[in-house]
Amino acid sequence: MYNSKVVYVSSPLPEGFDLQYVLSTVEDRVPPRFAHEVDYVMVGQNDELNAREINAMFKDGAIYVTNEQENEEDMIDDIVHEIAHSTEKMYGAEIYSDSEIEVEFLGKRKRLLDLLKAEYGEEIRAMSKKFLEVEYSKRFDEFLYKGIGYPKLTMLTLGLFVSPYGITSLREYFANGFEEYFLGDIEYVRKISPKVYLKINELINDDII
């Protein structure tokens, strides 16, 4: 990938799965500078992925992605999402130091909290402090995923978050916006996450590199 990132496949992919299409699509959509911190990609079974019940992660310079994929688009989503996290490693200070994305993110969290208060009462009040934090919390993630459910959150946050997973932390909010910017609807990102949109534009145009 990008003529320099070796992709290892340690477990079989679904029959007929077109890995070359996945890699060429990632190359076509995401400028290579954003993958600078990625040394290689490992496709297959991974104990940490399984333990955390996730499909992919960026760790120690590598993207780990499960071989259990519904289709090629799912793997493209996974890889681009993790490239977003590698971009944070490279440009974290430039992305977050002015706090503009953080302010945008917490404003959306507060609006979601207000939407949920009437229906969830005491349960929401017990979690209210978590809505004001930016770091990932497994407890908060499980509350969103299992306590409320992503289908309901999708309806509640339409036009507020790109996807429910973007609610879970500041980093996931950025990564979701990054993924949508390069794989989905750029104008949608500009509309609902303008600070993320502007920051990615600055990175693309070398304004903050």
Give the pLDDT band (50/70/90) at residue 207.
Answer: low
The pLDDT value recorded for residue 172 is: 97
Rounded to an integer, what distance in angstroms lies between the CA atom of residue 56 and that of residue 80?
10
The pLDDT value recorded for residue 124 is: 81
Domain ranges of the chain: 6-91, 100-204
Judged against a pLDDT cut of 80, whether residue 209 lies above it is answered with: no
Say what the pTM is. Answer: 0.93
- To the nearest whole percent, how much of the chain has pLDDT over 90? 81
- For residue range 183-204, what is the model confidence (pLDDT) as tens digits? 999 999 999 999 999 999 999 9
- For residue range 115-172, what is the model confidence (pLDDT) as tens digits? 888 777 777 877 889 999 999 998 899 888 888 888 999 998 999 999 999 999 999 9
The three-point CA angle 38-41-46 to 5° equals 125
Give the pLDDT band (50/70/90) at residue 48.
Answer: very high
